[in-house]
Structure 1
Amino acid sequence: MLRRSFLLWAAASGATAAASVAGYLRWQEVTPTVSAPGREEGHFLRDRKPLPPPSQTMSTDVLILGSGIAALTAAWKLRKEGHGDFLMLDGPEPYGNAAGGRFGDYAFPTGAHYLPLPTQECFHVREILADLGVIQRGADARKPYYDERFILHGPEERLLFEGKWQDGVLPHEGLPHAELAEHKRFFAQVEGLRSAVGADGKRRFTFPSEHSSNDAEAARLDGMSFAAWIAQNGYRSPSLLWYLGYCCRDDYGAGIEAVSAWAGLHYFCGRGGEAENAEQGAWLTWPEGLQALASGMERLARPKRLAGSAVKVHTLANGGVEVLCFALERGVPRTFTIRARRVISAMPLHVAARVVENIPDVHRQIHAPWLVANFLIKRFPQELPEAPLSWDNVVHGTKGLGYVVSTHQDIRVAPPEKTVFTSYVALADRDPREARKWMMAASGDELLALASIDLKAAYGAQFERCVERVDITLRGHAMAVPVPGFRSEVGLKALREMDGPVLFAHSDLSGFSVFEEASWWGYRAAQRALRG
């Protein structure tokens, strides 16, 4: 990547990448690195470019296509149950949305960065955490005991609102009584829904979401937008509406108008895990984000891994599966074939649709694009006095989703010499296809301008003097958006229920991308593969 100029904005909150030159303070030379994992392989598949004949054929009992959380969970579970005859085809990016990176001694996430404490219903996640030593005792109990190194410690989160930092992410300081009363009413309603049970005897909202109620009320909530539900229930507080929109963009990559009411409520009602040594609803985090769990599962699974991606998954007459694979080596494809008794397709569904023969159609699923930027900070910027630097730092009213601090869990008398600020932006303000086109065409300066929008709002001109390096990761199809009607999608239902030579395992089956869902489908696919 050629050296580019890092443009710093003067007034950040409402600025866009198209701001005029007058909006910039000055120039500073840095060397931003921009990566788009999977883009080259994905476009190769999309364009159906010609491939050479396979150079070799391999055989295995179970073939796992992918190396994200669903794939790694399947590999971990197979190995744990004593089944070692499996291969893993990595796909374009090992660990997928759970990947991370390093600036020397400083680790950082390039995808998801935390995991809420799992409830008892989320037994598969607790089993993983226990095997990795994150849960140290009582994995089956209501309140397990966790390794305290990974329990998020305070200060947890703060919000820059009207020029001042305040604790938490929901605006509350200086608001009229009517707005605060509306906040209180919303969370009281959420608390009631958290324990609600549907007419079919299942909890209304839980993890894994497959175990949630599917009664008529669930269908009603699934069929309407979260914005419609909010209006129907009389919520009009600007601060609350902003907060609910932020939450949806953070977990789903889209706003309240785009996601279903069921998904919007599930964000608040589906969790609530407890711990013997932490407060209810606490979070787990690592400097490298969820790569800590991904690499831990890989260590336990000990998979035989192959670099490459699937081109065609074909079920044979004898019931086995043949997979044509390719790997790009300096842009030149090399192909090979793998035959297996069963294949676990842990690829995103929009990729599987181009690869797996006779796959049921999933008509409504769209994927949100994300941008993740990691700033190596050579010295900590000076903070405003109202609230200290927190693990998660959010700015009200911007397009960003805030930034997290990689060294937050380091308990030291003095802060480390350097740190990494990881900023997240979901391009939720435009059509996903248009957003992907913009990401492909955008210059390094434009990407940096968007990536630094919250950091510039928080620190102004001084921020540029603290930055040593910037790495930007573009995720064009980062996560499925749970649009209204997604739970009743016929194609998704068919894929969830398939139990033949090809099994599906990806968070896309749930319609939204979180660790609890991805790992569930990998766990269940491994169980089915083990049945013979």
Structure 2
Amino acid sequence: MLRRSFLVWAGASGVVAAGSVAGFQRWQEITPTVHYPGRDEGHFLRDRRALPPPSQVIHTDVAILGSGVAGLTAAWKLNKLGKTDMLMIDGPQPHGNAAGGAFGDLEYPTGAHYLPLPSPESVHVREILADLGIIQKDPYAEKPYYDERFILHGPEERLLFNGHWQDGFIPTDGVPQWERDEHARFFAEVARLRQTHGADGRRVFVFPTVMSSEDPQWQALDRITLKQWLEQGGYKSPTLHWYLNYCCRDDYGTRYDQVSAWAGLHYYCSRWGQAANAGNGAWLTWPGGLQPLASGIERASGVKRMAGTTVSLKKTADGVEALCFKLENGKPSTYLVRARKAICAMPVYVAARVVDNIAAYGFDAAKHIPEYAPWMVANFLLKRFPDERPSQPLSWDNVVYSEPGLGFVVSTHQDIRVRPPEKTVFSAYVALSDRKPSTARHWMAAAKPEELLALASADLKEAYGPQFASCVERVDITLRGHAMASPWPNFRSNAGMKALREVDGPILFAHADLSGFSVFEEAAWWGYRAATLAAK
């Protein structure tokens, strides 16, 4: 954690209009907080630093190594199967990419912030949501009935384009008709692909992705980028290209000229869940992003958690043994966990260093570890709402026609009140997709707090100008250097990932990385599968 006092944006943006100088001088001093979850533990693993001997040995039936969505789902499913003798080792951050925080009673996300309505194939997600009471009736029907508190209500999204806000994310205001015709052609193709099946009878794009068609005709989409697919289809609209690039950056942290066309199309074609009490394609969200959902899964699992990060995992004559460590004031302490089975619910680039002889499973770290996209999430506690432009009203998700910012979400959007709350939190997302991932990580590690804030606040400055700074009370910045695996072309033919997906033994693997990209539905699937195998 790094704390540093400075004037909001003063000197950070590099260019300040002369007429705004007085405004800068009046802005209050704040102390931003910068978090690097997993950085210290990750560097400890990378550098192979010496560890003290274990202070204790803990015995359990199933050890779950990692507390993200995959690990939480595994614990929940084990409990449903009657296996309650389990222990979860948190990893460097409890709940991983589903984590969140709070300014007092105002919750906010530091990772993922929504979940699309699950389609019929996502039975595992529907089972979780029904168990938590989020689906209230008919969980496996075509249109389940959801708790309306968690269905995203309008206004849902808006885009700052050509100097004013418009409804929706795809640019329309002032866009020539030929571009709008291309928009319509693209979405008609999406509607067609949603209902398309391969020669093997499977739907082409579904969650979980292992149920998608393996027809070579459709697998060929994984050998080109989404941009190449658009060009092959004759799509030339600049606004359509911007929109699809934005969506890839938002979902995968990677530009559309690097994302596999299969993955890029999957973003649209697999998400068509319906509800009896909401429109098609609705989303579920909470003020704290996915943190409340993750916490609900944890409570339902009854799992016992321990702080710590696994440094080594190996098979023994009786099962498995995991050496775990904790850092307190920079000093490590260790303990051993012995179990019948272990669920390795950690990113594969970490598992490659932790699992003893991972090559024996068919995974070659030099060939099979994917590239990882870095992310920044900045949460601005506002003591009042900024004044809006006289156009589309403040929405849940608010995007600026630019890059690398991804806009901001409003934590209090789901509040049902007679009048807006006095305070709120704006959560600004940035995918550092404008540079190489390794370059972005080096920049994040070396950047001063004011440099981080300048990038994190760029969209907010564009949207509100100098007035926004006077609304800010606190800022909390979370940096995720390896936030998510990037589905570059050929990710679906990654032999190492396929090998880990098929493992059935004392050590089981469960993480969204096994699918090649980071989304709730995939992480939950691998946790669900691992629990089913571990319960045997």
Task: Please classify the TM superposition score into its range, dividing by the shorter chain length.
Answer: over 0.9
Q: Which amino acid aligns with 2:14?
A: A
Q: Which amino acid aligns with 2:458?
A: I
Paired residues, number: 523
Find out whether 1:148 has 2:143 as its counterpart.
no
Q: Distance in 1 between matches of 2:318 and 2:213?
A: 35
1:219 is paired with a residue of what secondary structure? helix
Q: Is the 8 A contact 2:492 2:516 kept in 1?
A: yes
Measured after TM superposition, the shift of residue 111 of structure 1 is 0.6
Measured after TM superposition, the shift of residue 80 of structure 1 is 1.3
1:199 is paired with a residue of what secondary structure? coil
Q: Distance in 2 between matches of 1:54 and 1:515?
A: 34
Q: Distance in 2 between matches of 1:18 and 1:49?
A: 39
Q: Distance in 2 between matches of 1:350 and 1:398?
A: 28
User: 1:250 maps to what in 2?
Assistant: 250
Measured after TM superposition, the shift of residue 398 of structure 1 is 3.2
Measured after TM superposition, the shift of residue 188 of structure 1 is 0.6
Find out whether 1:463 has 2:476 as its counterpart.
no
User: 2:302 maps to what in 1?
Assistant: 302
1:479 is paired with a residue of what secondary structure? strand
Q: Distance in 2 between matches of 1:157 and 1:143?
A: 23
Q: Which amino acid aligns with 1:3?
A: S
Alignment of 1:289-328 (within 5 A): 289-316=289-316, 318=317, 320-328=319-327
User: 1:479 maps to what in 2?
Assistant: 484
Q: Distance in 1 between matches of 2:290 and 2:410?
A: 14
Measured after TM superposition, the shift of residue 81 of structure 1 is 1.3
Q: Is the 8 A contact 2:403 2:434 kept in 1?
A: no
Give the TM-score of the pair, scaled to structure 2: 0.96
Measured after TM superposition, the shift of residue 530 of structure 1 is 0.8
Q: Which amino acid aligns with 1:361?
A: D
Measured after TM superposition, the shift of residue 319 of structure 1 is 5.2
Of residues 393-402 and 419-428 in structure 1, the stretch that sits farther from structure 2 once superposed is 393-402
Q: Distance in 1 between matches of 2:352 and 2:411?
A: 36
Measured after TM superposition, the shift of residue 19 of structure 1 is 3.1
Given the superposition, is the C-alpha separation of residues 485 and 306 from structure 1 closer, same or farther in structure 2, using an over 3 Å criterion? same
Given the superposition, is the C-alpha separation of residues 183 and 347 from structure 1 closer, same or farther in structure 2, using an over 3 Å criterion? same
User: 1:6 maps to what in 2?
Assistant: 8
Residue by residue over 1:41-96, the C-alpha shift from the partner in whole angstroms, topping out at 9 and shown as x without a partner, is 00010011111111111111100000010000000111111111110000110011
Structure 1: any 5+ residue segments left out of the alignment?
10-16
Find out whether 1:361 has 2:356 as its counterpart.
no
Q: Distance in 1 between matches of 2:70 and 2:10?
A: 39
Q: Distance in 2 between matches of 1:163 and 1:228?
A: 30
User: 1:454 maps to what in 2?
Assistant: 459
User: 2:263 maps to what in 1?
Assistant: 263
User: 1:502 maps to what in 2?
Assistant: 507
Q: Is the 8 A contact 1:227 1:256 kept in 2?
A: yes
Residue by residue over 1:162-194, the C-alpha shift from the partner in whole angstroms, topping out at 9 and shown as x without a partner, is 101000000011111100000011111111111
Measured after TM superposition, the shift of residue 8 of structure 1 is 5.8
Q: Distance in 2 between matches of 1:2 and 1:244?
A: 37
Q: Distance in 1 between matches of 2:520 and 2:451?
A: 31
Measured after TM superposition, the shift of residue 478 of structure 1 is 0.5
User: 2:406 maps to what in 1?
Assistant: 401
Measured after TM superposition, the shift of residue 441 of structure 1 is 0.3
User: 2:180 maps to what in 1?
Assistant: 180
Q: Distance in 2 between matches of 1:434 and 1:515?
A: 27
Q: Distance in 2 between matches of 1:361 and 1:345?
A: 17
1:94 is paired with a residue of what secondary structure? coil
2:8 is paired with a residue of what secondary structure? strand
Q: Kindly, what percent of the aligned residue pairs are identical?
A: 64
1:312 is paired with a residue of what secondary structure? strand
Q: Distance in 2 between matches of 1:486 and 1:204?
A: 16
Residue by residue over 1:169-226, the C-alpha shift from the partner in whole angstroms, topping out at 9 and shown as x without a partner, is 0001111110000001111111111111011111100001111111112321011111
1:154 is paired with a residue of what secondary structure? coil
Q: Is the 8 A contact 2:114 2:286 kept in 1?
A: yes
Q: Is the 8 A contact 2:13 2:454 kept in 1?
A: no
Q: Distance in 2 between matches of 1:5 and 1:418?
A: 21
Find out whether 1:89 has 2:84 as its counterpart.
no
Q: Is the 8 A contact 1:8 1:461 kept in 2?
A: no
Q: Is the 8 A contact 1:375 1:421 kept in 2?
A: yes
User: 1:14 maps to what in 2?
Assistant: none
Q: Distance in 1 between matches of 2:287 and 2:364?
A: 39
Q: Distance in 2 between matches of 1:18 and 1:200?
A: 55
Q: Distance in 2 between matches of 1:302 and 1:480?
A: 29
User: 1:199 maps to what in 2?
Assistant: 199
Alignment of 1:196-235 (within 5 A): 196-235=196-235
Measured after TM superposition, the shift of residue 6 of structure 1 is 1.6
Measured after TM superposition, the shift of residue 336 of structure 1 is 1.2
In structure 2, which of residues 11, 14, 20 is the aligned counterpart of residue 19 of structure 1?
14
Q: Is the 8 A contact 2:164 2:389 kept in 1?
A: yes
Find out whether 1:440 has 2:445 as its counterpart.
yes
Measured after TM superposition, the shift of residue 4 of structure 1 is 2.3
Q: Is the 8 A contact 1:398 1:453 kept in 2?
A: no
Q: Which amino acid aligns with 2:364?
A: D
Give the TM-score of the pair, scaled to structure 1: 0.97
Q: Is the 8 A contact 1:74 1:523 kept in 2?
A: yes
Alignment of 1:81-120 (within 5 A): 81-120=81-120
Q: Is the 8 A contact 1:327 1:333 kept in 2?
A: yes
Q: Distance in 2 between matches of 1:105 and 1:441?
A: 32
Measured after TM superposition, the shift of residue 2 of structure 1 is 2.8
Residue by residue over 1:91-112, the C-alpha shift from the partner in whole angstroms, topping out at 9 and shown as x without a partner, is 1100110001110111111111
1:7 is paired with a residue of what secondary structure? coil
Q: Distance in 2 between matches of 1:21 and 1:205?
A: 48
2:197 is paired with a residue of what secondary structure? coil
User: 1:281 maps to what in 2?
Assistant: 281
Residue by residue over 1:287-311, the C-alpha shift from the partner in whole angstroms, topping out at 9 and shown as x without a partner, is 0010111000111111111111111
Q: Is the 8 A contact 1:8 1:449 kept in 2?
A: no
